[in-house]
Amino acid sequence: MPQQDATEAQVSRSRRYLLPEAVGLLRAVRPRPRDVSALGALLRGGATLADVGLWAVRRAAGRPVLIDDDGVLTGADLNVAVHRLMAAIGDSPGRAVACLGDHRGLVATIIAAGALGIDLTLLSPRAGEQARRRVLSGDVGLVLHDGPARPDITQRQIDVRAVLQRPAGPVPAARRTRIPALVLHSSGSSGAPHPRTERRVGWAQLPTVVSLAAALGARRGEPMLVAAPLSHGHGLSALAAGLLVGAPVLLGASRHADHGLASIAAHRVGTWVGLPTQLADLMTQAGGAHLPLRRIVVGSAPLSAMVVEQVRSTVGEVLVNYYGTTESGTVTIARPADLAADPATVGRPATGVTIRIQDPAGWVLPRGETGAVLVRSPWRAAGERPWIRTGDLGRLDAAGRLTLAGREDGTVIVGGHRVTLAAVADWLERQMAVDRAEVTAVPHPRLGEVVHARIAGDVDLHELHTRARTELGDAAAPREIRAW
């Protein structure tokens, strides 16, 4: 690969930024003497999300760690919840699947499964039946969810909320012989799944982790509201950062009618993390009033220039936008200065990440020209090629900022969820009495894009629409189905 010059569309962020980012992160964490022993346990465990949770438990003790609809949870309270779930899980065979809402029970489940060495898949409660059947197939031996047992699930089931209310039984000893996997599945997409497996943070990923955590801006003791679902990579990363830094994490506020607006004032939230659609809802609810936030962080879906300008005018220069993919993790960070220069940008590479723009023949394009976005990232899986093709089209400007320009693989992003149009059309055409289906993406002011469909055949369109929402999930199901 030739060296970068002023015109070549390949950029990376030098590791010389690592030291100032690390210093800023240490100031946010404000380490104390008792943190040293907890840090040792974190490093011995392999720095998984479960280990970060145990780190938070040991550091916080009587201080708040989580806040949800059931109130404040201290480090000691979270430790009790983890032990109750470890006792309930026991020696569960095979993989486990957690289909839980965003509350303390999900966080305790992630930590308990990790401590027991059990691979855990996170599945959104809003996932369609197709995704649910796919995830529950194979060697799944345990399903954790909210509420009583479901007759359609054949595996052993645990009602997590009920477990948290009962006295703790004998806690199984930690039995990890390897680093357990935490697998994320996109909750609204159709077609081939895009699972993302998290195991541990190695030295190669450390510069990128520091870069992301520093941009997040969380501070020890200052509440951080995470509106993004924890079954989503963006929400899960924010939870991990909050636990690591020692910022109490507010969960579930986005389910409220005010989209968490009252929680921001009531808990003196400093950092808000969510999807662009959730930010648009929050700004609408605020009605132009100033929000007392130091940092607003979005990611996983296109961010409209209108929302960028709305935040800048009513809140200030506080907005950060992350861009990433399932295969490569977070790729770029658009900081407030980047968005002030270009509201449409997704920013510059995170530390340790390199981006290039390529034409169909494989040549690296000059800056300003649009082509396929390729990424070299420390998060790529073992055995993968060094350069990961993201499926996005984009261009780099003279300052090295990336701006996206659509997709090259027939997928769209609906409210933060990737949807394959061909797979939606295939599902429709396999339904009884459907002769032909045409599926298109239509711009939407809140969700970015939504799916519409035209159907040929003697079929009840209302019933078909209802069945599509059940099978495909809210994101992939067409918002409008009309006759051809």
Strand extents, DSSP E, 227-282 = 249-251, 271-274
Same domain? For 187 and 98 the reply is yes
**Do 295 and 436 fall within a single domain?**
no
- 203 has pLDDT over 50: yes
Instruction: Say whether both 179 and 269 belong to one domain.
Output: yes
Residue 389 falls within a domain, yes or no?
no
Q: Is position 477 within any domain? A: yes
1-15, 268-282, 393-407: the lowest-pLDDT one? 1-15
> Do both 292 and 424 map to the same domain?
no
Q: What token pair was written down for 17?
A: 């930024």
What is d(CA 123, CA 126) in angstroms, rounded to the nearest whole number? 8
At 409 the pLDDT is: 76
> Is residue 90 situated within a structural domain?
yes
Question: Are 331 and 437 found together in one domain?
Answer: no
Considering the domain architecture, whether residues 424 and 343 belong to the same structural domain is answered as: no
CA angle at 241 for the pair 240 and 243, rounded to the nearest 5°: 65
Reported as a single tens digit per residue, the pLDDT across 209-230 is: 788 888 888 999 999 999 999 9
Are both 296 and 427 inside the same structural domain?
no
Whether the pLDDT of residue 272 is over 80: the answer is yes
DSSP output for 4-19: P-SSBSEEEB-GGGHH
Q: How confident is the model at residue 101 (pLDDT cuts 50, 70, 90)?
A: very high
Domain match, 334 and 421 both: no
Q: Are residues 32 and 108 in the same domain?
A: yes
Average pLDDT, the chain: 85
Residues 455 and 321 in one domain: no
Residue where a domain stops, chosen among 319, 334, 351: 351
Q: State the Cα–Cα distance between residues 343 and 330, nearest whole angstrom.
A: 19
Whole-model pTM: value is 0.85
- Asked, for residue 370, whether it belongs to a domain, the answer is no
Number of domains making up the chain: 2
Res 1: pLDDT: 36
Higher-confidence position of 272 and 446: 272
The predicted pLDDT at position 8 comes to 61
What integer pLDDT is reported at residue 382 of this predicted model? 59
Determine the average pLDDT of the residues in 265-281.
93
196 and 286 in a common domain: yes
pLDDT at 6: 42
For the domain that residue 467 is a member of, what is the CATH number?
Answer: 3.30.300.30
What residues contact 165, with CB distance under 8 A and at least 6 apart? none
Residue 467 belongs to domain spanning:
411-483
Whether residue 372 is contained in a domain is answered as no
Do 415 and 309 belong to one domain? Answer: no
Of the listed ranges 243-247, 296-300, 324-328, 333-337, the one predicted with least confidence: 324-328
Model confidence over 58-68: pLDDT tens digits? 888 889 999 99
Residues with Cβ < 8 Å from 210, sequence gap 6 or more?
18, 21, 22, 25, 351
**Cα gap 213→202, rounded to integer Å:** 16
Residue 342's domain is classified under what CATH number? 3.40.50.12780
Please state, as a whole number, how many other Cβ atoms lie within 10 Å of the Cβ of residue 379.
25
Tell me which of 17-21, 79-83, 271-275, 466-470 is least confident: 17-21
What are the E-state strand segments in 397-435? 402-407, 411-414, 417-420
User: Do 261 and 278 form a contact (C-beta atoms < 8 A)?
Assistant: no
Which is nearest to 419 in space by CA: 184, 126, 188? 188
